[in-house]
Amino acid sequence: MAATEAAGKLAYRIYRAVSYGAEPVVNLHLRWRRLRGREHSLRWTERLGLPSLSRPTGPLLWFHAVSLGEGITAIPIIKECMKQRPDVNVLMTTTTVSAFEVISKRLPSGVIYQFAPLDTPSAVGAFLDYWKPNAIILIESELWPNLIMGASENGIVLALLNARMSSKSFKKFSGPLLLPMISLMLSKFSLIVPLSTMQAIHFQLLQASPYIIKFSGDLKYAVEEFDASEGELRSIQDLKLQLAHRQVWMASSIHRGEEEIMLGVHRVLTEMHPDIVTILVPRNPQHGLEIAQELQKAGQNVALRSRQENLKPGTNIYVVDTLVVRGKWWRQQWQVIDDGGRVVAAGRLSYSQSSMAVKAAASFVTAIEACIEVNNMILNLVPYEAPFHAYIKPCMGELRYLYRLTPIAVVGGSFFSGLAGHNIFEAAAAGCAVLTGRHVGHFSHMVLEMQQLNPLSVLQVSGKLELEKALKELFSDAKVLEARRMAAKQAFRALSTGIVANVWSLLNVHVLNQALC
């Protein structure tokens, strides 16, 4: 054990030296990402550990999640923390602009939001020196050596919630070069809450102490209802009216290639039900528009959500797409041009102390930080003096509303080898009959737990033929459809009950009592 610890310390010293020497290159890369619109145009220096807000007095808990999905997972426990311990300040960080756009608007009042520092000695050191957190709660798979070792050296308590790692990461961490350092890092944690028994085994094989591994359930089960804007509710209600009295199913979060499976099944179903509507929700920003264009070339009647196209009686495919637009800056003005050359929005730029607000000339555009919101769609603007491309993408929470419009949800990202599935629990929460492919990655525990509660709650299919057979049965037998919908809803209720309370109890006992004593 002593030899392993010594090897871990040596490996970390090498990592620290290399990351310190690489800081000039890393900083240049960060600036390049800012110019490309991949970092926040004004708050990018937070990634260097430089704060944009003042630290309040008193104890502070730092919650960190890498991106949007993990950040949304953290919100229920942050709310519980503020409810149970109003005397404690809460800092939330993520690393991506997309997470910032959504999470900064969803966090409770009083939560401090910053971008997380890069894992370089200078950035981590500056961040910890300024914010001085009493504890750091990491979400899912954030194992950064400089951050973890720096926190330990400063006496900061560490916890890892919804802890998971892919099979690929586990294999890499288990190798002789990385295992000593990973083992050393895991020894610094006071609490690890794994997603599943298999994940717990992974962490123990990486030499995490079994005494710090506790179970509570998956925080993703704590599905929250986000407040919808008036425009969002009106848009969804309009779509609901258009879908009335028609057979509907939805394929959500589909990856490239999966649309061929969905459209093949759609063609078969239209022979049985000519009025059927297939809702396609691609995962990739540009994929939806490409699908629609190909279908239109083939003579299909397709409605695009980004263009606010209504479902007509002859429309059988509805694409919740992301519209690629072109635009340009000149002086302090901007305009957005759709793929047909039409100006859909225009305005002038203004600056404030903390953010760049886009002031729009068109009444249907509202200003938010570094992007604009057009008819319930977020448009990222790339702020540099040149023609740019941007993407309009569905706002966070829209998928949850769409699930309410369909009795059947096929969750994609799961039909080909190499894919790793997506969250099926949102569909279950909405009372959909839930189907997915067999390549579900770390969501396999979610599928298994739901199926153990009720085998009808989730149906896994191998490909087009099995999906086609399953959907034919659901559309032809109302009793089977209702049984699957009820099973999914009941599984959701059973698994979601008490999750936040359980996680909070573990944090209170193993983290807060130690950090705030």
Active-site amino acid positions: 70
Give the pair of three-digit tokens for residue 75.
């919100």
Strand 343-351 with 356-360, pairing: antiparallel
Q: Is 479 exposed, middle or buried (0-12, 13-18, 19+ CB in 10 A)?
A: exposed
User: Which DSSP category does 369 fall into?
Assistant: B
Residue 156 sits at φ, ψ, to 5 deg, of -90, 130
Give the pair of three-digit tokens for residue 357.
């607000």
Compute the distance between CA of residue 73 and CA of residue 94 in angstroms, rounded to an integer: 12
Evaluate the CA torsion angle 363, 323, 357, 402 in order and state its sign.
Answer: positive
Residue 196 zone, left/alpha/beta (φ > 0; ψ -120 to 50; rest): beta
Give the pair of three-digit tokens for residue 440.
């579900």
Residue 283 sits at φ, ψ, to 5 deg, of -80, -40
CB-CB contact of 402 with 426 (8 Å)? no
Compute the distance between CA of residue 514 and CA of residue 507 in angstroms, rounded to an integer: 10
CB-CB contact of 89 with 61 (8 Å)? yes
Give the pair of three-digit tokens for residue 216.
């509570």
Strand 112-115 with 89-94, pairing: parallel
Compute the distance between CA of residue 220 and CA of residue 424 in angstroms, rounded to an integer: 10
Q: Is 45 exposed, middle or buried (0-12, 13-18, 19+ CB in 10 A)?
A: middle
Compute the distance between CA of residue 408 and CA of residue 411 in angstroms, rounded to an integer: 10
Compute the distance between CA of residue 151 and CA of residue 133 in angstroms, rounded to an integer: 9
**CB proximity list for 451: less than 8 A, separation 6 or greater:** 457, 458
Q: Give residue for tokens 């000519």.
A: 274
CB-CB contact of 132 with 62 (8 Å)? no
Helical segments of 348-463, H only: 398-403, 425-429, 444-453
Compute the distance between CA of residue 33 and CA of residue 261 in angstroms, rounded to an integer: 36
CB-CB contact of 454 with 477 (8 Å)? no
